[in-house]
Each structure stands twice: as C-alpha cells, then as structure tokens.
Amino acid sequence: FRDSDKAGQQLIFCNAYHLLLHPGADVIGDAGGLHKFTKREKGPFITDSGGFQVFSLAYGSVQEELSSKGELKRVNKKTKTKWRTDVMGEDAVNVTEEGVTFRSYRDGSKLLLTPESTIQAQKSFGADIIIPLDELPPYHIDRNKLAESVERSHRWEARSLSEHLKNVKEQAMYCVIHGGIDVELRTKSIDYLTSLPFDGYAIGGSLGNGRSELKDLLTWMMPLFEKESRKEKPRHLLGIADEESIRNAVTLGVDTMDSCYPTRLGRHGTLMTREGLLRIKRGRHATSFGMKIDS
C-alpha cells in the first residue's frame, strides 16, 4: 500500500471473497476496518460483494470461459495446488433466489452468500465504496437465461441496497449494470438501477470477448449515463485495467476501474513501459544490470 500510495494510486480495491474466507469479516471489523487493519488511513477502499470469485469457481476466469465457450469448469485433480480442487467445477455453485452457495477453497466448508450477508460483511470491512451482490453469467449464454440472470441481479441489488440503507455508515454503494453485450438488456438494466438511490454506477457482467467488443459496448452505452441526474454520479468499470482498455474507457466517460491484471504482470516479472510490455525474466535480460526503463 505504501508503494501504491507513493505512485499516486488513489482507490484500492479489496476482494471481499478472499477477505470473507480469511481472515474473516469479524477479524477485520474488530481491528477497526480495512483502514486500520492495513494502516492505510487516508486513501479510500472499495470492496466487491464476492460474487465474481464465487461464479468463477464454476466457469473459471473470464479468459477460460471465453475459450471454453461457456462450458463449466473441469477440474484437473492432478494439478498441484495448496488449495482444494474439489470445490470447483460443475457442482461448485448453487444459485437460488436467496443467494449463492459455494464451498471454501481453504477447508471445503459450505457457505451461503446473500445480498444481506455480503453487505453486512462490507460494513465490517469499513470500505468507502461497496458493491451489491450480483450474478455473473458467462459470455456464452442463452439469451433467455441471460434475461433471467439480469432480473435476479436486479432483485439482489435492490435487497442489498435496502440492507445498506439501514445503516449507511458514510459508505457509498454502487449498483452493477448487467446485460452482457445485449443492447436491450443493458439499457433495461441501466434504466432500472439508475432509478434507485445508488451513489454510483459500476459496469459489470460479461463485457465482450475482447478489447474491441468492450470498446463497442462502451461506445453506445456510456452516453446513456449522461441523461438527467445520471451524469452527476461516478462510473466504475469492473475487472478491466489493461492499457488499451483504460484509454478507451476514460475517453468514453469511465471514472475509475479495477483489475488484478497489473499486479499479476508484476508478480510474473512483466513491466508495463511506454514502449509496451517488458518481460524482465527472459534470458536476454539475465545481465541487464541497471537497465533504464522509461528514462
């Protein structure tokens, strides 16, 4: 956090799914919330509902879902991992009107995530911006099922908002716009969710099969947020942070965005430079001592 603050990073995104499993909402709440738990007192935090990671147990990452064309995740039992592999795949997630049931990757225990419970957890986290529970349908999905998913997300988000308004705690809540790349469903989602007293708008769900389709989606969709009182509220793009998409999104009216992409690159020895990606772990850089980057 100190390095990110020095670099000018303003908003930090914390993953509620992992925080819920360890160390737990109660532990962070007893510590005084994320700001005190991390000793990052000044900069704002945003937390999600945990829904994205839960649904990825069934379909894998966004890239895995796109490449498999919507097939449920097949778990390789021989894969070496410190986490359980029996909590992923076809039977990993059960969605009902109440919420979504899944198993912990740490100990296999069964957990129920509801619109109310995720908001209660995010209250304990003390994040500055919180996100309601929503369902994440895959890119490859029947339109009727997508429409059902959007309606369910709307009901869950309304329940989340109701729980939030019981005790706001100076937290802002963003809704999550859904509908995949379907113009009618996206427009319907915007019209409904912007009619509720959310503090900002997050753009979620399936965002296309690549940068080009994402740009096309944002090109026709973002002007819908300029109507009436909508234009006064911030817009957040969920799960996107590659350089090309950032440039496109900001140009089209997105205010903030999040993704594990930049930190994942860093963990694997890839640097983002003005001249493109630099893979510092490659053999040709074994003796690149004191190499200047973006000098």
Is 82 in a helix, a strand, or coil?
Answer: coil
* 172 class by beta-carbon count within 10 Å (0-12 exposed, 13-18 middle, 19+ buried): middle
Other C-beta atoms lying within 10 Å of the C-beta of residue 232: 8
Q: How far apart are CA 125 and CA 164, in angstroms?
A: 13
> For the chain, how many helices (H) and strands (E)?
12, 12
Cis peptide before 23 (omega within 30 of 0): yes
Q: How far apart are CA 145 and CA 268, in angstroms?
A: 37
Just list the catalytic residues.
48, 258
Q: How far apart are CA 90 and CA 99, in angstroms?
A: 17
- Give every CB contact of residue 34 below 8 A, 6+ residues apart in sequence: 14, 28, 40, 45, 47, 125, 126, 127
The number of residues making up the chain comes to 295
